[in-house]
C-alpha cells in the first residue's frame, strides 16, 4: 500500500495526473517545474521521494514515464490551466486552426496509445499466439469487393482498423459489429447508439472465438447513412506455425477497388460508375468534377498491407 501523500506531494500528483489526462502522456520534469514554479532539481528530488513512498512509478531510462499509483479521486483537483508541450511541423504560414487541429490529433493519438499500452498488460494472459485469417466481403457489391487478411490476436478497435485499411476506407464515419443478435461498438460511440450495443473496448478476437466458435461470422457496418455492410468470416486459425520473417497484419488476397466515401452506398456507387463511364449521362460532368475517373478493378495487395500496418488517422 502506498503511503498517504503530504499536501505538497498531493499537489505534484494532482498535476501529473491532470497533465497525463490532457496530453495523453505524462509530463516531463520541466513541465512539472513550470507548473509548480519550482526548479527541476526540486522536481527530481520530489520524484525520488514519491517513488520511494510508492506513490509513483517510473521506467528506468525512459523520459515521460511517471505514473501515479494512488487513486486520482483521492487527490485535490488541479484547477490551473494545463500547458501541453508539443513539438510538430506545420507550414510556416499555417493558420492557427490548422496548428490546433494538428495538436489535437497528436494528443488523441497519445491517449489511444497510452490506453492500449495499459490494456495490453491486462490482455496478455488472454491473448493467444494464433494467427487469424479472415475474409471480408462488401455485401451486395457487383463485382464482389473482398479482402483476405491475416492478423495476430488483437483488440476489436485494432481489428476495426485492419478492416478499414484493408478495404480502403478512411474511418470518417461510425461503425459497429454484429454477431448473431448482439451488437458491439466503441465506448466512444455509445452516446450515439440506441441503447442496444455493448462496448467492445476490452474484447479480443480470441474472446469472440472462445464465445462463438472457430466458424466465427460477423457483420461489420460502416457509415450508417450509406450503410456499407461487410460479411466477415473467420476462415482459418494458424496455430504456432509462423515463419520467423513473417510480419502481421497483412492483406493476403482481394479483388476490386474500395468505393469512394459518401457516394451513397452500394447502389450509389453503381450509379456513380455508370455516370463516370457515360459522357452523355446527365451527372457525368458533376461526378467527374467531384471524384474524377474511378477504376473499379484497381487493387494493390502491397498497398493494402502497407495501409494496414500504418493504421488509421486519429480523427
Distance CA 121, CA 125 (A): 8
Q: 64-96 pLDDT, tens per residue?
A: 888 899 888 899 999 888 877 666 566 777 787
Confidence of residue 240 (pLDDT cuts 50, 70, 90): low
Q: Identify the structural domains of the chain with CATH numbers, from first to last.
A: 1-85 (1.10.10.10), 88-125 (no CATH), 131-257+295-310 (3.10.290.30)
The residues that bridge with 6 in the sheet, in sequence order, are none
Instruction: Output the pTM of the full model.
Output: 0.67
Tell me what the mean pLDDT of segment 135-148 comes to. Answer: 97
Cβ atoms of 139 and 232 closer than 8 Å: no
Tell me the three state secondary structure of residue 139: coil
The residues that bridge with 166 in the sheet, in sequence order, are none
Q: 21-61 pLDDT, tens per residue?
A: 887 788 888 889 988 999 989 999 999 999 999 999 998 87
Amino acid at each position: 500500500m502506498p503511503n498517504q501523500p503530504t499536501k505538497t506531494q498531493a499537489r505534484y500528483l494532482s498535476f501529473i495526473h491532470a497533465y497525463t489526462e490532457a496530453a495523453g502522456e505524462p509530463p516531463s520534469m520541466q513541465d512539472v517545474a513550470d507548473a509548480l514554479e519550482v526548479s527541476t532539481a526540486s522536481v527530481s528530488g520530489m520524484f525520488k521521494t514519491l517513488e520511494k513512498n510508492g506513490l509513483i512509478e517510473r521506467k528506468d531510462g525512459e523520459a515521460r514515464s511517471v505514473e501515479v499509483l494512488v487513486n486520482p479521486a483521492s487527490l485535490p483537483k488541479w484547477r490551473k490551466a494545463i500547458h501541453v508541450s508539443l513539438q510538430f511541423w506545420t507550414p510556416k504560414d499555417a493558420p492557427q486552426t490548422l496548428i490546433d487541429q494538428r495538436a489535437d490529433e497528436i494528443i488523441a493519438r497519445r491517449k489511444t496509445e497510452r490506453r492500449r499500452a495499459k490494456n495490453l498488460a491486462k490482455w496478455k494472459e488472454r491473448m493467444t499466439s494464433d494467427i487469424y485469417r479472415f475474409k471480408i466481403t462488401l455485401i451486395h457489391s457487383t463485382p464482389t469487393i473482398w479482402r483476405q487478411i491475416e492478423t495476430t490476436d488483437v483488440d476489436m478497435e485494432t481489428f476495426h482498423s485492419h478492416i478499414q485499411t484493408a478495404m480502403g476506407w478512411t474511418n470518417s464515419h461510425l461503425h459497429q459489429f454484429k454477431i448473431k443478435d448482439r451488437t458491439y461498438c466503441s465506448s466512444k460511440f455509445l452516446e450515439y447508439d440506441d441503447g442496444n450495443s455493448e462496448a467492445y473496448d476490452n474484447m479480443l478476437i480470441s474472446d469472440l472465438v472462445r464465445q462463438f466458435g472457430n466458424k466465427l461470422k460477423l457483420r461489420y457496418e460502416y457509415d450508417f447513412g450509406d450503410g456499407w455492410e461487410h460479411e466477415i468470416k473467420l476462415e482459418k486459425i494458424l496455430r504456432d506455425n509462423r515463419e520467423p520473417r513473417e510480419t502481421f497484419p497483412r492483406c493476403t488476397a482481394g479483388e476490386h477497388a474500395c468505393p469512394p466515401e459518401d457516394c451513397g452506398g452500394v447502389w450509389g456507387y453503381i450509379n456513380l460508375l455508370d455516370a463516370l463511364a457515360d459522357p452523355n449521362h446527365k451527372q457525368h460532368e458533376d461526378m467527374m468534377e467531384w471524384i474524377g475517373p474511378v477504376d473499379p478493378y484497381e487493387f494493390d495487395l502491397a498497398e493494402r498491407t502497407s495501409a494496414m500496418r500504418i493504421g488509421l488517422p486519429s480523427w
